[in-house]
Amino acid sequence: MATNLERASSILKVESDAIAAAARRLTESVIERVIDLLINCSGKVIVLGIGKSGVIAQKIAQTLTSTGTIAVFLHPSDAMHGSLGVISRGDVVIALSNSGETDELLGMLPALAAREVALISIVGNVASTLAQRSAAVLDASVDKEACPLNLAPTASTTVALAIGDAIAMTLMEAKGLTVEDFAVNHPAGRLGKRLTLTVESLMHPCPNVTASTGLLDVVKAISGFALGAVTVVDDEAKLIGIVTDGDLRRTIERIDTSSFANLDAAAMMTANPISATPGMLAYDALQLMEDRPSQISVLPVVDAGGVCVGLLRLHDVVKSGL
């Protein structure tokens, strides 16, 4: 008797074999036709499906939208009860059906023809009514489902999803979508943040002191701003150094206590520290702080004229989710 591991592995193999077979069935003419219809779509892409195919259709619509093609999922039953108004001339419809004979989809065909929208079908039966009425047909047929009873939609839905992904990715590449374009549609994701979040949006107001500020006032400033450091600037507010908690400790360790009264920021600061600019990506600033022999936890921010305009903390960059 097969073990559970063997059963699970065999099911994965059935599905992977089904995807491989679908890939072998693809022809250049069909793919070119599908991509041509989608890339020249002057409206939006409507993705249709019922039941499990509906779930796959929703995922395909979301994938298209996130990769630069406006797409929406429409339930065929809703469409036949008023939501057909979502579909207009210039749209392209992608319909998913394993049998290709789904009543709700076939019932929409006259309305789609009246609106003169192009129909792409992803079907398990290329001789079906839906396939015959389509401008382009993607063959998602499978020899058998991964279900031991050959009943539950498993391999067939996996193949339909894989075909949808293949079309979406091919279309994305054909449109020349860049990483930056992708990030615009994913501002809350890690990739989006890395490509859009700037230092200016995370930095704190400048905790400035001058070179002549004494030890006690430097300590008060560090405590008052609670950023772990103060920036040292000249009379024109240009950055000349930084005093961190670590600088304070190291200074106290190397200086005789009798000299404390004469200590000023100039004697304690790290001169000409590494800095960021307001428009720099926060991810790049993070690399500046981390990709060095000795990591730093704060980074002064200066404008094009060298004026200190803020302080960026490693804590805030990490907290942002980068």
pLDDT score, position 177: 78
How many separate domains does the chain show?
2
Structure tokens at 211: 């070179």
Structure tokens at 183: 């990030």
CB 273 within 8 A of CB 286: no
Question: Is 267 contained in some domain?
Answer: yes
Domain of residue 266, CATH code: 3.10.580.10
Examine the domain organization and report whether 171 and 48 are in the same domain: yes
CA distances from 246 to 125, 152, 186, 224, 269 (A): 71, 64, 38, 17, 10
User: pTM here?
Assistant: 0.67
Among 145, 177, 209, give the residue marking a domain's end.
177
- HSE on the CB side for 163, CA within 13 Å? 38
Examine the domain organization and report whether 284 and 142 are in the same domain: no
Among 127, 143, 177, give the residue marking a domain's end.
177
Identify the three-state secondary structure at position 271.
strand
Show the CA angle centred on residue 72, arms to residues 105 and 175, nearest 5°.
115
pLDDT score, position 190: 63
Examine the domain organization and report whether 138 and 214 are in the same domain: no
CB 301 within 8 A of CB 308: yes
Domain of residue 31, CATH code: 3.40.50.10490
DSSP per position, 4-56:
HHHHHHHHHHHHHHHHHHHHHH--HHHHHHHHHHHHT-SS-EEEE--HHHHHH
pLDDT score, position 265: 92
Examine the domain organization and report whether 169 and 46 are in the same domain: yes
DSSP 84: G
Question: Is 191 contained in some domain?
Answer: no
Question: Is 183 contained in some domain?
Answer: no
CB 144 within 8 A of CB 13: no
Examine the domain organization and report whether 171 and 233 are in the same domain: no
DSSP 234: -
Examine the domain organization and report whether 165 and 237 are in the same domain: no
Euclidean distance between CA atoms 230 and 227, whole angstroms: 8
Examine the domain organization and report whether 146 and 209 are in the same domain: no
Question: Is 187 contained in some domain?
Answer: no
Question: Is 308 contained in some domain?
Answer: yes
Domain encompassing residue 25: 4-177
pLDDT score, position 274: 92
Examine the domain organization and report whether 168 and 208 are in the same domain: no
pLDDT score, position 108: 94
pLDDT in tens, the chain (322 residues): 889 999 999 999 999 999 999 999 999 999 999 999 999 999 999 999 999 999 999 999 999 998 889 999 999 999 988 899 999 999 999 999 999 999 999 999 999 999 999 999 999 999 999 999 999 999 999 999 998 888 889 999 999 999 999 999 999 999 887 776 676 665 656 666 777 789 999 999 999 999 999 999 999 999 999 999 999 999 999 999 999 999 989 988 888 877 777 889 999 999 999 999 999 998 899 998 888 888 889 999 999 999 999 999 999 888 887 6
Examine the domain organization and report whether 131 and 246 are in the same domain: no
CB 96 within 8 A of CB 59: no
Question: Is 106 contained in some domain?
Answer: yes
Euclidean distance between CA atoms 92 and 118, whole angstroms: 5
pLDDT score, position 16: 96
CA distances from 265 to 101, 262, 302, 308 (A): 80, 10, 19, 16
Question: Is 263 contained in some domain?
Answer: yes
How many C-beta atoms lie closer than 10 Å to residue 122's C-beta? Answer: 32
Residue 19 contacts by C-beta under 8 Å, 6 or more apart in sequence? 158, 159, 162
pLDDT score, position 258: 76
Question: Is 193 contained in some domain?
Answer: no
Identify the three-state secondary structure at position 169.
helix
Examine the domain organization and report whether 27 and 146 are in the same domain: yes
Examine the domain organization and report whether 53 and 129 are in the same domain: yes
Examine the domain organization and report whether 166 and 52 are in the same domain: yes
pLDDT score, position 204: 95
pLDDT score, position 191: 63
What's CA 301's distance to the chain center, in Å? 27
